[in-house]
Amino acid sequence: MAEGLFLTFEGCDGCGKTTVLKRVSALLEEKGIPFLLTREPGGSHIAEEIRNVILDRNNTEMDPRCEALLYAASRRQHLVEIVLPALKKGELVLSDRYLDSSLAYQGYARGIGMEEVYSINLFATSGRLPDLTFFLDLSPEEALERIHKNASREVNRLDLEKENFHKKVYEGYKILLKKYPERIVRIDAKQTVEEESKQIVDIILKRLKA
- Interface positions with ligand TYD (CB under 6 A): 13, 18, 40, 71, 96-97, 101-102, 105-106, 156, 158
Q: Work out whether strand 132-137 and strand 35-39 pair parallel, antiparallel, or are unpaired.
A: unpaired
| Shortest distance in whole angstroms from residue 90 CB to ligand TYD | 25
Q: Which is nearer to ligand TYD, 89 or 148 (CB)?
A: 148
Angstrom distances, CA of residue 71 to CA of 6, 97, 167, 180? 19, 11, 21, 21
| Shortest distance in whole angstroms from residue 1 CB to ligand TYD | 29
Give alpha helix (H) positions in 79-139: 84-88, 99-102, 114-125
Q: Which is nearer to ligand TYD, 119 or 156 (CB)?
A: 156
Q: Which is nearer to ligand TYD, 77 or 102 (CB)?
A: 102
| Cα within 13 Å of Cα(132), Cβ side | 20
Select the residue whose beta carbon is closest to ligand TYD and give its number.
105
| Shortest distance in whole angstroms from residue 41 CB to ligand TYD | 8
Give the C-alpha separation, 34 to 92, whole Å.
7
Q: Which is nearer to ligand TYD, 10 or 35 (CB)?
A: 10
- By CB atoms closer than 10 A (0-12, 13-18, 19+), residue 87 is buried
Q: Which is nearer to ligand TYD, 5 or 96 (CB)?
A: 96
| Shortest distance in whole angstroms from residue 170 CB to ligand TYD | 12
Phi, psi of 35, rounded to the nearest 5 degrees: -160, 165
| Shortest distance in whole angstroms from residue 206 CB to ligand TYD | 26
Give alpha helix (H) positions in 126-209: 140-149, 163-179, 193-209
Eight-class DSSP state of 94:
E
